[in-house]
């Protein structure tokens, strides 16, 4: 069993920045994918970035790739999401997720993930 705990959500003015973190329990070496998602009220859950455990690389969604950055600290079993130039459209609950599956055909799609954190709220006001 894997547990994920997100933190860092807050209210921020448009144009500002925010950093989120997600810490996993369990063996991070077996977590081939870790990812950040977000979901706004009435909208589908959207994949933002996936961290590939085998290569250490990342893949960002086109919608955020020029404003969001990500990093991973395997020793701390933590992934980070740094968000810049935030707009009210970024307001959502942000979740991290992971899976023990070795291959995901669409790693930015939520249906491949087995474990989810409780989420952390990000609110951007103008």
Query: Who has greater pLDDT, 31 or 86?
Result: 86
Average pLDDT over residues 54-60: 85
- Residue 27 pLDDT: 63
Strand locations in 1-126 (E): 4-7, 11-13, 18-24, 33-39, 46-52, 58-60, 68-73, 78-83, 92-99, 115-116, 120-125
Residue 54 confidence (pLDDT) above 90 = no
Share of the chain above pLDDT 70, in %: 97
**What is the pLDDT of the chain when averaged over all its residues?**
93
């Amino acid at each position: 069993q894997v547990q994920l705990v997100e933190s860092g959500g807050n209210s921020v003015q448009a144009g500002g920045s925010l950093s989120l973190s997600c810490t996993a329990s369990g063996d991070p070496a077996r977590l081939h994918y870790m990812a950040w998602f977000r979901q706004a009220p009435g909208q589908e859950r959207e994949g933002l970035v996936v961290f590939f455990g085998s290569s250490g690389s990342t893949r960002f969604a086109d919608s955020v790739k020029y404003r969001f950055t990500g990093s991973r600290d395997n020793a701390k079993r933590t992934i980070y999401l740094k968000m810049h130039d935030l707009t009210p459209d970024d307001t959502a609950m942000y979740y991290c997720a992971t899976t023990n599956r070795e291959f995901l055909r669409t790693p930015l799609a939520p249906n491949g993930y087995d474990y989810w954190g409780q989420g952390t709220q990000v609110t951007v006001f103008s």
